[in-house]
Amino acid sequence: HCPLASLSPRQSRVYGRDRVKFMESLVVGDIAELKPDQGTLTLLTNEKGGIVDDLIVTNTSEDHLYVVSNAGCADKDLAIMKDRVKELQAVGSDVHLEVLDNALLALQGPSMARVLQAGLSNDLGKLSFMNSAIMTVFGVPGCRVTRCGYTGEDGVEISVPAGRVVELAERLLGDPEVWLAGLAARDSLRLEAGLCLYGNDIDETTTPVEASLVWTLGKRRRMAMDFPGAAVIMAQIKEKPKRKRVG
């Protein structure tokens, strides 16, 4: 089977020669080490070490960062990002933020590769986990296809120009193995995979250490301690937190 879900996250692009500096001033991951068109799950943290949101950040080969935020956190994330852009621009940094009017479709499951390959000129087999590429998908140009998902299954998330999303969804649903999946189905899958849901398992009162998400902290970033809440987070790594997510 191959469930198709319509997601509603905030998608944005960060341009400018200081785009990595900007992103690393907000998140715990090593964005500078990402190869072209490689992405990573990272955490936007506050000065107390709490998780403001979990993001997917991709270093595109088109000279910008592509950022996907959770829908429920989109407004606060955007406010934080806009404020930081202004702060950096005020001291001469070259960074600009663009909010995209794109939809996001998630196609997941064992049949995903067969279903999607039928509508691609690109070889999906060359797209490895957490990598992305701009493709024409079933006749819809300008789609960013990222091999990732939040289900524990092989899958892709497809960023689609808003005016073409219904057309693409209908084409995908034309395959008998593709069916629509709602939040409850996706929630069951991410629970089985042990993946955190923002607002349920993690929030601004939870640190990466408490959430068992220390693996998202880049080694270089740990050494530099230059991300929001670094002192709190690094102290917890050494001293062990009083509470910790399991499962």
Annotated binding site for substrate: 157
Q: Which residues are annotated as a binding site?
A: 157
State how far the Cα of 142 lies from the Cα of 158, in Å rounded to an integer: 10
Query: Is 72 buried (19+), middle (13-18) or exposed (0-12) by CB count in 10 A?
Result: middle
According to DSSP, the β-strands at 178-180 and 2-7 are parallel
State how far the Cα of 76 lies from the Cα of 198, in Å rounded to an integer: 14
Q: What is the DSSP string of 97-139?
A: EEE--EEEEEEESTTHHHHHHTT-SS-GGG--TTBEEEEEETT
- For 188, residues 6+ apart whose C-beta sits below 8 A from its C-beta are none
CB 37 within 8 A of CB 129: no
Our measurement of the distance from residue 24's CA atom to the centroid of its chain's CA atoms, rounded to an integer in Å, reads 15
Sheet holding 96-99, edge to edge: 38-45, 51-59, 65-69, 10-15, 96-99
State how far the Cα of 114 lies from the Cα of 99, in Å rounded to an integer: 32
